[in-house]
Amino acid sequence: MSKVIIIGAGGVGRVVASKCADNPDVFSEILLASRTLSKCDTIAREVGKGRIKTAQVDADNVSEVVALINQFKPELVINVALPYQDLPIMDACLETGVNYLDTANYEPKDVAKFEYSWQWAYHERFKKKGIMAVLGCGFDPGVSGIYTAYAAKHHFDEIHYLDIVDCNGGDHGKAFATNFNPEINIREITQPGRYWENGKWVETKPFEIKSALTYPNIGKRNSYVLYHEELESLVKNFPTIKRARFWMTFGDEYLTHLRVIQNIGMSRIDPVKYKGVDIIPLEFLKAVLPDPGDLGENYTGETSIGCRIKGLKDGKEQTYYIWNNCSHQVAYQETGTQGVSYTTGVPAMLGAMMVLTGKWSGKGVFNVEEFNPDPFMEKIGEHGLPWNEVFNIDLEV
């Protein structure tokens, strides 16, 4: 039995808190903290089963996080705050000697760029301190890497082609809304695309590569190649990969709104003067768009996320597709959040469980695919995200 601090009280934090509270045999004491205490209190009241304490903390402030850790004395900090806050929270874990887990890699606030180099640079310090940092334990990144590790362990001698496919086939009834933090979401998808091929990165224009892919229970959806952080770690940890890409679906109406947002300058992340005050247009836009945490009640349909893999097994070419479909309505009925938050929060809880029960161990900084995938895969279904697999089909990619 172990004590944990969860930092972040958005939709994902709500799911993590709910799922940790469901498993008192592992999570003996839970502290949920964020900048806004009232959000923590609401989550604790609505899904905490009477087991969640709350606190206020500014995750940008290392000394505040250190003080909170020293007061509560957890074995693990689960970071589901903003990606800007990864490094301050890692710094606090280093200072206090506490294990760390997150769901998305660090990106600086003033540059629309994300990569693992900043967090990988912590490896020796975490190793010397005798603690572990687990990076990217959501769904993608996260389960997508664990699916890949599972395929490599059980079904392939060499993985040659990896395509991670992410479809949100749901409908929230809004003219325009993002399924997670609007600021992070819009920064991510408006960057140039990038994929790995023949030992190097190939850069594309945003939404340049498009294909209509078929998703289980959903059908054909227009899918676009984006850059996503798990590609960086997967091609490092599985060097036989010749090509790795990440695909995500977008509807025409969504893309039209996105073009307008860019064309009128609302996606800018540099400050502009308004009535003598510096404001960031994208931060203002975030304030007026629907809160992703409030989309769940009327959300219908499913998400479908998986890995389509081609490689060699016993000298023969083989194809393999492994995926999960998650119902927005079922996710909302259980936790009060939509499926995108659910598919991120469940793996974060389960990754924490893997660490606290010793199924995943090590000293230093690790991506999830570096651990044994089997104990995670054995449990993910019973915690709400069952997986499916098929062999030797047309992968469409």
Are residues 126 and 97 in contact, defined by beta-carbon separation less than 8 angstroms? Answer: no
Q: Strand order in 2-7's β-sheet?
A: 52-56, 27-34, 2-7, 76-79, 99-102, 132-135, 364-367
Kindly state the average pLDDT of the residues 91-100.
Answer: 98
16, 260, 277, 282, 289 from 274: Cα distances, Å: 38, 21, 5, 14, 19
pLDDT tens digits, one per residue of 198-251: 999 999 998 899 999 999 999 999 999 999 999 999 999 999 999 999 999 988
Summary mean pLDDT of the chain: 93
pTM comes to 0.93
Residue 110, pLDDT > 70, answer no
Confidence of residue 112 (pLDDT cuts 50, 70, 90): low
pLDDT in tens, 18-29: 999 999 999 999
4: tokens are 């944990």
Which residues have C-beta within 8 Å of that of residue 2, sequence separation ≥ 6?
26, 27, 28, 74, 75, 76, 356
Residue type, 179: N
Q: Which pair of structure tokens corresponds to residue 170?
A: 């749901």
Q: Per the structure block, which two tokens stand in for 238?
A: 């599985």
Q: Is the peptide bond before 192 cis (omega within 30 degrees of 0)?
A: no
